[in-house]
Amino acid sequence: MVSRVIPVDPFDLVVFGGTGDLARRKILPGLYRRFRDGQIPETAQIIGAARSDMDAAAYRKQVAAALGEFLPARLLDKTRVQAFLDRIAYVKIDATGTGGWTDLKGKMRTGHVQVFYFSVAPGLFGGIAERLHKYKIAREGARIVAEKPFGNDLETARALNETLARYFGEHQIYRIDHYLGKETVQNLMAVRFGNMLFEPLWKNQYIDHVQITVAETVGVGGRGTYYDKSGAMRDMVQNHLMQLLCLTAMEPPSRFEPDAVRDEKLKVIRALEPVREGDIVRGQYLAGEVGGEATPSYLADVENAASLTESFVAMKVHVANWRWNGTPFYLRTGKRMKSRLSEIVVRFKEPPHSIFDEDTGQSANELRIRLQPNEGMDLSVTIKEPGPGGMRLMNVPLDMTFAEALGEEATDVPDAYERLIMDVIRGNQTLFMRGDEVEAAWAWTDPIISSWEAREARPAEYETGSTGPEEALILMHRDGRRWRELEA
Ligand code: NAP
């Protein structure tokens, strides 16, 4: 396979929070990979911005260390790393103060795309936006990238949208949800809208149900205090799972263009029915063992024995429109589960009439879209079991694992972050959330969370390394369905 790398325009990219965890783990290594592949021009400038007192040389050392830590050694060609580090500057700046802003302005070059990446706590977004405007740093075409979480509920999301809108137009705001940058997620659109095969079947008449799972094996770890104020619903469902649901359920957009795609996603969110109380299961993990090591319970992790926050949620969701009437979407996400896995499973209906005997082993087709691990898709189809012994049927996957299909190059498939950053520089908002989309998602999530809070409902317990609480299995079983096994 020949990869086509189309270089982006020369740019100045300022990473607010350039010394933070996200910058070190994802943003800077991602930029290096794009630079190494020749997609980033040699004249680009990346400026780290944070309060820490250091000069550019010290910051470059930090960046070099981050590349060493988060990228495989085979990608770290000495000359390319040095050429990349030469593109890096640093400004000591306080998002809430006056220091550093004139300095930053001095580093901005005319004729270059301007990107300001807000990789800091959301509470600082407003202050940064205001100062970029006040010090006349951001020009007309500047773009800002806002990290998650985008608000904590409808009210805070709206306030944040309003604050940003004071200084930037919607066409300049890139709200990032890195799930949308994943290769498979975009492939979901390619498969649905680039083939004649699937779209005619993509409806309640042929699809029994859809399952969306995002399971993690880690606990809340060091993020306990933050997580306990948020929970799985706010941290995962309102954004990542909702985005996956939208892409699966949306109508074909007229074009693969930002507003055409986002309009269709928004219609899905607006078509979501309120979830019935009995259709949601919440859970908290118990103490257990991972890899032979004892792990604490959720309550111990967040140091709050009275916490009612969920580390797991499963729910049955209905999209109230012609296409999906009667075909439910089951969502589940949780921490400390059996495997780390993200996938969408589209389960088709059984053939209306079977010509084969009942015990031949026929089962329904399933399209499985795997986001991680092993990004790819497989479609299970029924075939005759080879060999003698009469008509016995078996299900085999037609497998499109990227690692196999693309060979060596699959290991170099861009990470979601690097793809999205390149889209920002290109000025393409298709894979970013629009303000009204985020607000609609909160408008759907808020009443569910408030009802839990009003009832002071205690989540069910579940074992570490399990598939979640028993009640989540029952949620499916009572409809005569079952979750797909949590296996990679
Ligand atoms: P972090 O490790 O705590 O880093 C925060 C960064 O902000 C540091 O560089 C810090 O540097 C800087 N900072 C703090 N206060 C500042 C101020 N007043 N003025 C200027 N800079 C300031 O946080 P993170 O994990 O990188 O997360 C950053 C953002 O990304 C957050 O919104 C988070 O929710 C989001 N996010 C993170 C991840 C992840 O995997 N880490 C994933 C998804 C979303 P100084 O202390 O030197 O100022």
Say how many domains are in the chain: 2
- In tens, the pLDDT along 338-379 reads 999 999 999 999 988 888 887 777 788 999 999 988 888 889
More confident residue, 360 or 296: 296
**Pair 356, 399 in one domain:** yes
Q: How confident is the model at residue 33 (pLDDT cuts 50, 70, 90)?
A: very high
Segments forming the whole domain that contains residue 233: 180-414+434-477
**401 pLDDT exceeds 80?**
no
**Pair 218, 284 in one domain:** yes
**Pair 192, 236 in one domain:** yes
**DSSP secondary structure code for residue 380 in this structure:** E
**2 pLDDT exceeds 50?**
no
**Pair 237, 310 in one domain:** yes
CATH number for the domain harbouring residue 111: 3.40.50.720
**Pair 110, 193 in one domain:** no
pLDDT for res 360 = 77
pLDDT for res 408 = 55
- In terms of Cα–Cα distance, which of 33, 81, 63 is closest to 411? 33
**Pair 124, 196 in one domain:** no
pLDDT for res 183 = 85
- In tens, the pLDDT along 231-251 reads 999 999 999 999 999 999 999
- Would you say residue 82 lies in a domain? yes
pLDDT for res 239 = 95
Question: For residue 288, how many C-alpha atoms fall within 13 Å in the half-sphere facing its CB?
Answer: 19
**Which stretches does DSSP call E strand in 4-157?**
11-16, 45-50, 88-92, 113-118, 143-146
- In tens, the pLDDT along 413-459 reads 678 999 999 999 999 999 999 999 999 999 999 999 999 999 998 99
- Rounded to 5 degrees, what are φ and ψ at 231? 90, 165
- If you measure from the C-alpha of residue 44 to the centroid of ligand 1, how many angstroms do you get, rounded to a whole number? 23
**Pair 143, 70 in one domain:** yes
| Residue 21: how many other CB atoms lie within 10 Å | 11
Q: What distance, in Å, lies between the first and last C-alpha atoms of the chain?
A: 26
- If you measure from the C-alpha of residue 199 to the centroid of ligand 1, how many angstroms do you get, rounded to a whole number? 42
- In terms of Cα–Cα distance, which of 112, 117, 21, 40 is closest to 83? 40
Task: Tell the residue nearest (CA) to atom 43 of ligand 1.
Answer: 148
- If you measure from the C-alpha of residue 1 to the centroid of ligand 1, how many angstroms do you get, rounded to a whole number? 38
**Pair 116, 198 in one domain:** no
**Pair 94, 45 in one domain:** yes
- Would you say residue 55 lies in a domain? yes
Pairing of strands 366-372, 376-384: antiparallel
Distance CA 248, CA 229 (A): 29
Three-state secondary-structure class, residue 451? helix
Query: Of these residues, 178, 209, 240, 318, which one is catalytic?
Result: 240
- The pLDDT mean for the chain works out to 93
- Would you say residue 485 lies in a domain? no
Ligand 1 atom closest to Cα of 94? 19
Sign for the pseudo-dihedral over CA of 159, 164, 166, 169: negative
The mean per-residue pLDDT over the stretch 110-121 comes to: 96
Helix, strand and coil in the chain, % to nearest 5: 40, 20, 40
DSSP string of 304-325, one letter each residue: -TT----SEEEEEE-B-STTTT
**Pair 140, 190 in one domain:** no
- Would you say residue 424 lies in a domain? no
Instruction: Select from 19, 22, 214, 218 the residue to mutate for testing ligand 1; criterion: most ligand atoms less than 8 Å from CB.
Output: 22
Which amino acid would we find at residue 392? R
Asked if residues 33 and 418 have their Cβ atoms less than 8 Å apart, the reply is yes
- Would you say residue 224 lies in a domain? yes
pTM of the predicted structure, to 2 decimals = 0.94
- Would you say residue 15 lies in a domain? yes
- In terms of Cα–Cα distance, which of 117, 144, 2 is closest to 49? 117
- Rounded to 5 degrees, what are φ and ψ at 402? -60, -40
CATH number for the domain harbouring residue 188: 3.30.360.10
> Considering 100, 123, 147, which residue would you say is the last residue of a domain?
147
- Would you say residue 459 lies in a domain? yes
171 is catalytic: no
Asked if residues 189 and 445 have their Cβ atoms less than 8 Å apart, the reply is no
pLDDT for res 390 = 82
- In tens, the pLDDT along 276-285 reads 999 999 999 9
Residues with CB under 6 A from ligand 1: 16-23, 50-52, 93-96, 119-122, 124, 147-149
- If you measure from the C-alpha of residue 52 to the centroid of ligand 1, how many angstroms do you get, rounded to a whole number? 12
**Pair 358, 249 in one domain:** yes
- Would you say residue 142 lies in a domain? yes
